[in-house]
Structure 1
């Protein structure tokens, strides 16, 4: 094992310890104590690698290696460091670690860039605490306003501002970043699917990222006693929600071409075994490589809501996120492929079925993204695993690509 691979494994192992569910996967929600410990580690490593560290009003972390050109835009490299509940150790952190190690290679090789290099660690990509997802990148690009951000709350009613303040972050700092300060963004991510492993290829060069939208649906009925309320006199919010959710697979299959619909979160109120549910809140995640399919499913969802809004049942829907399918910058895609060839590393052109911060930043700067294989195609679970040898290969590709984009000079 070489030094690069050893450092990668050390980073991943250390970050995996910052979890609220030891032994049951990684649970690192945004602005939690686990978030605080992870960011302290990342900032320490950024400083150790010679980067100037700052945080913004969202808590995104930036480690900057200044360039020789005054006021020049930065080449950003990184990913997110939050997790889903009981998730894995590689989804997000692998990309942040790759950014750290690119910066380490700049230092080891005594390189000084013309354009600054910035390692970034983004918050709330998963949306596990405050909903919607991609919060860090949406804030940077202005898709999430300061007022919208400050009005977000988690399921316990704790606001973003309260949560930030509790772990010592400053919510009064600026959120949106001037696009003119960004020359390009590079992101490494685990594939979260089986294609690369099945093909025995270590690198996927992403060409397109799927479009997605997320809704929070609230079904309100009437609570009542489970034993004394006749079946024909009930306005059961959970039964209504369950009937709706059972229809979602058909909404996706009617569209075809890889369209998917998922309900991954559901809350029942008052959540008593002998009480008819008064309210049910659940999520709907819609994804497709073609925007027309997303729009069609939204129309069908609205018709479904209208058809079930009767007999004492009221249903409301809040759209928390909408992202069109995004193509990666063709020049950077070509550069990643060229660099892979130069390093004699096999790659495969691939499309992403998951949403990523790269798709948000693609609206304001040139973006390139690469995948590494996921064992058994698994992700968002404790069994999630990727080989550090593949991460090291990806770091080599990103390092050489970053050298070209930052136009490095020898010190």
Structure 2
């Protein structure tokens, strides 16, 4: 193999050190000191290769290797380096290390390509700090505004705009992160599967041909906090009771939509949050996913109708915020064929599969040709400290991407 297994292992382990919760899984939120540590490590490794290293106004890191015709559109490879709270070391970083290792192998073997190649490492894909995910790719697609940066806040009330400014970026420049689709030939991402299919079927790789659509809402119901012992039941404006009635119907809406549609309420907060106070506010998220856009619309419309019905009946105020709306996307057939050819040449087994998780690739598919390759997850675990992918399995995915880059980049 051209790639270096020990180097891949070292990179994963080094990145895992930039962690706010040692011993309790990986927590690396965007625009934090942990982000800065990982960012500096990545930039230093890119600079060692003599690449042109820069950051865009959305906080994404780039390392550009020039092509023989550097005016041609770039081939972009990478993923994200932020994490969920108490997650694992591979979700995101596996794809970042893929891109770093590919750039190393291209450089140390003095490979010349007609097309320029760019490493990219993105932040806030998970939405772990500010609640609106796939941020770096959305910024490149021109789908992020200064209004979003001002409105999206973390649990401490710090807006994304404030965090960017404190970190050293100018939030007013966010529109300059937008890339011209004509300037990008392709985007390729490697990711851990985050499910059990590859391991159970004893396959080395998953070649993704479709990514589900993803729709996220944040719902805030506002009632009135009152004494739990002295306020009669018929005189309460209990925000949590209304929220619970809504939440209980959501799984059935997904089942009724069918075609593999799923819907999840993954976060719920109650204020003031005391045992002896009637809840005055309840805020929750709704995550809807399907490979069929009409199914997403069906569930969304039913949910919004129910929210309005329940809050109107209870005399409560409600705020409904759309956090994310990404359509189902098909991967590039040309890149899929290149993945298959290179996996066959290496003797790696693979299957074509659907991605039920959202990735930066699904956003980038709106502006360029996209390829996404999965490597196995131990016991299908992800978003938890137990998340694991064998380094040998990761290396196989990196080898296939490397050879696909040789195909797309047109080696001289």
TM bracket, shorter-chain basis: over 0.9
Please tell me whether residue 360 in structure 1 is matched to residue 367 in structure 2: no
Matched residue, 1:290: 292
Q: Distance in 2 between matches of 1:202 and 1:236?
A: 52
Q: Distance in 1 between matches of 2:326 and 2:172?
A: 27
Q: Which is further off, 49-58 or 278-287?
A: 49-58
Q: Give matches, 1:2-401, under 5 Å.
A: 4-173=4-173, 174-309=176-311, 310-401=313-404
Using structure 1 for the length normalisation, give the TM-score: 0.96
Q: CA RMSD in A?
A: 1.5
Contact 1:215 1:321 in 2 (8 A): yes
| Secondary structure in 1 matching 2:348 | coil
- The Cα of 1:11 is off from its aligned counterpart by 0.9
- The Cα of 1:86 is off from its aligned counterpart by 0.8
Using structure 2 for the length normalisation, give the TM-score: 0.96
- The Cα of 1:306 is off from its aligned counterpart by 2.1
Q: Can you give the 5+ residue segments of structure 1 that lack an aligned partner in the other structure?
A: none
Contact 1:146 1:175 in 2 (8 A): no
Q: Distance in 1 between matches of 2:87 and 2:398?
A: 23
- The Cα of 1:231 is off from its aligned counterpart by 2.0
Q: Distance in 2 between matches of 1:252 and 1:190?
A: 26
CA deviation profile, 1:161-181 (whole Å, cap 9, x unmatched): 321232333435422112222
- The Cα of 1:154 is off from its aligned counterpart by 2.1
Matched residue, 1:403: 406
Q: Distance in 2 between matches of 1:276 and 1:265?
A: 20
Q: Which is further off, 24-33 or 310-319?
A: 310-319
Contact 2:79 2:189 in 1 (8 A): yes
Q: Can you give the 5+ residue segments of structure 2 that lack an aligned partner in the other structure?
A: none
Q: Distance in 2 between matches of 1:70 and 1:46?
A: 19
CA deviation profile, 1:64-114 (whole Å, cap 9, x unmatched): 111110312111000001111111111000000000000111012111221
CA deviation profile, 1:238-291 (whole Å, cap 9, x unmatched): 121122112111111111221111111112111222111101111000001111
| Secondary structure in 2 matching 1:408 | coil
Q: Distance in 1 between matches of 2:364 and 2:289?
A: 19
Q: Which is further off, 244-253 or 94-103?
A: 244-253
Q: Distance in 2 between matches of 1:2 and 1:403?
A: 12
| Secondary structure in 1 matching 2:106 | helix
| Secondary structure in 2 matching 1:292 | helix
Contact 2:146 2:172 in 1 (8 A): no
Q: Distance in 2 between matches of 1:347 and 1:338?
A: 11
